[in-house]
């Protein structure tokens, strides 16, 4: 596996349990403000023609680029067939500047694909026009209410048109990072709000094979498209959101364990001294990690066996009773 210049930074952030921080600098030069007036869905004929050309180009050339640069293999793309008749969200780990090309290849012509990005990607000029033509949806600042209403209106329309809207729930891009990082809740909130499924995708890395090995390529990428997850309508809204979040996290961690043959109870290298201060989404990921091997986790004890924890009070009571007898 190639070592990136950010690997030491990733390791330091992992020790703190801080997985959602960006390590590559933002560039807000030449950006368009994302607010209530931002045009998410451009209905002009000229734009629609350009968009069709750009999307066609990405679908046509994407597989070649993915094969040459990443040796890309896609597993489970048929899982998109189950959501052909509905709008949906998709999620993935964010591990490369071009990972969306591989996702577009996985979706193919089944649906039109849109990609949510940070507002610093809302570029002006030619670059911005190309991004918007490809289906980029910049997210407004959370404190911009008019922008959030505008975004929600766009989501509603796109989902009614049976489109796919993609989120990177890990938020930041960590180049070539293998582990599934803790999720932010945005995609699950919207899936519950609009009552649509979420299709999880997970990028995995392995040693190159064939001609790519001969030419000393750094790695091979496999993209797993996993079965769609649906909100559980039997739960209250907030619990529905948390349940979807947890199930997606579990699916990622199980796939990570299976692909890389990892059996450590805690897949993260977090310094125990940071358990008390790590973000809540990291705590959840640690709990799910432990649960996938039949154990439990909390901030005070770290990983522990829940059966032994249940027996401990009984053993203490028995020991106290014996002391009283003596």
**Are 238 and 273 in the same domain?**
no
Residue 288 sits in the same domain as residue 144? no
Q: Is the dihedral of CA 258, 261, 263, 266 positive or negative?
A: negative
SS3 14: helix
CATH code of the domain containing 131: 3.40.1130
How far apart (Å, rounded) are the C-alpha atoms in residues 157 and 170? 25
Residue 15, in any domain of the structure:
no
Query: Do 229 and 143 belong together in one domain?
Result: yes
- pLDDT per position as a tens digit, 95-122: 999 999 999 999 998 889 999 999 998 9
Burial bucket for residue 128 (CB in 10 Å: 0-12, 13-18, 19+): middle
Per 3-state DSSP, the chain is made up of helix, strand and coil in percentages (nearest 5) of 45, 15, 40
User: 209 lies in a domain?
Assistant: yes
**Is 77 in the same domain as 201?**
yes
Place of tokens 């500047």: 97
Run of H or E residues at 89: strand 88-92
What radius of gyration, in Å, describes the C-alpha atoms of the chain? 22
State the pLDDT at residue 318: 46
Same domain flag for 195 and 280: no
Same domain for 85 and 172, yes or no, is yes
The answer to whether residues 186 and 276 belong to one domain is: no
- Residue 222: give the domain boundaries: 22-262
Same domain, 302 and 315: yes
Contacts of 127 (CB under 8 A, 6+ apart): 30
Measured from the Cβ of residue 319, the count of other Cβ atoms closer than 10 Å reads 10
Distance CA 280, CA 182 (A): 9
How many Å apart are CA 292 and CA 254, to the nearest integer? 7
Q: Roughly how many angstroms between the first and final C-alpha of the chain, as a whole number?
A: 63
Residues 273 and 129 in one domain: no
Q: Look at the chain and report how many structural domains it folds into.
A: 2
C-alpha to C-alpha distance for 47 and 51, rounded to whole angstroms: 6
The answer to whether residue 7 is domain-embedded is no
The residue from 262, 287, 308 where one domain ends is: 262
Within-domain flag for 13: no
Contact 166, 93 (CB under 8 A): no
Together in a domain, 166 and 269? no
Which stretches of the chain drop beneath a pLDDT of 50?
Answer: 1-2, 314-315, 317-318
User: Do residues 143 and 195 touch, judged by C-beta distance below 8 A?
Assistant: no
Non-local CB neighbours of 100 within 8 Å, separated by 6+ positions: 115, 166
Q: Please indicate, yes or no, whether residues 48 and 169 belong to a single structural domain of this protein.
A: yes
- Mark whether 308 and 213 lie in a shared domain: no
- Quote the pLDDT of residue 326: 55
DSSP 151-214: HHHHHHHHHHTT-EEEE-TT-S--TT--SPPPPPSHHHHHHHHHT--EEEEEEEEE---HHHHH
> CB atoms < 10 A from the CB of 16, how many?
16
């Amino acid at each position: 596996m190639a070592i990136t210049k950010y690997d030491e930074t990733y390791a330091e952030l992992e020790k703190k349990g801080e997985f959602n921080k960006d390590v590559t600098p933002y560039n807000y030069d030449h950006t368009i403000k994302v607010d209530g007036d931002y045009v998410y869905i451009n209905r002009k004929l000229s734009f629609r023609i350009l968009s069709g050309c750009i999307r066609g180009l990405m679908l046509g050339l994407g597989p070649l680029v993915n094969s040459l640069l990443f040796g890309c293999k896609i597993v489970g793309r048929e899982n998109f067939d189950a959501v052909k008749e509905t709008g949906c969200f998709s999620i993935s780990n964010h591990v490369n500047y071009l990972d969306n090309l591989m996702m577009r290849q996985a979706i193919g012509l089944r649906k039109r694909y849109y990609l949510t990005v940070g507002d610093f990607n809302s570029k002006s000029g030619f670059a911005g026009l190309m991004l918007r033509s490809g289906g980029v949806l910049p997210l407004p600042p959370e404190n911009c209410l008019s922008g959030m209403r505008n975004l929600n209106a766009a989501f509603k329309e796109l989902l009614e048109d049976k489109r796919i809207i993609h989120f990177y729930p890990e938020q930041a891009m960590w180049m070539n990072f293998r582990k599934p990082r803790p999720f932010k809740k945005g995609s699950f909130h919207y899936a519950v709000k609009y009552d649509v499924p979420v299709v999880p995708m997970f990028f995995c890395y392995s040693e190159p094979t064939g001609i790519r090995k001969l030419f000393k390529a750094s790695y091979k990428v496999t993209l797993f498209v996993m079965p769609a997850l649906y909100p559980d309508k039997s739960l209250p809204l907030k619990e529905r959101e948390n349940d979807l979040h947890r199930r997606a996290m579990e699916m990622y961690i199980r796939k990570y364990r299976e692909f890389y043959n990892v059996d450590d109870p805690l897949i993260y290298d977090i310094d125990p001294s940071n358990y008390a201060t790590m973000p809540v989404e990291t705590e959840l990921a640690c709990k799910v990690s432990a649960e996938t091997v039949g154990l439990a986790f909390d901030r005070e004890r770290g990983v522990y066996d829940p059966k032994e924890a249940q027996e401990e009070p009984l053993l203490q009571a028995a020991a106290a009773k014996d002391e009283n007898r003596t």
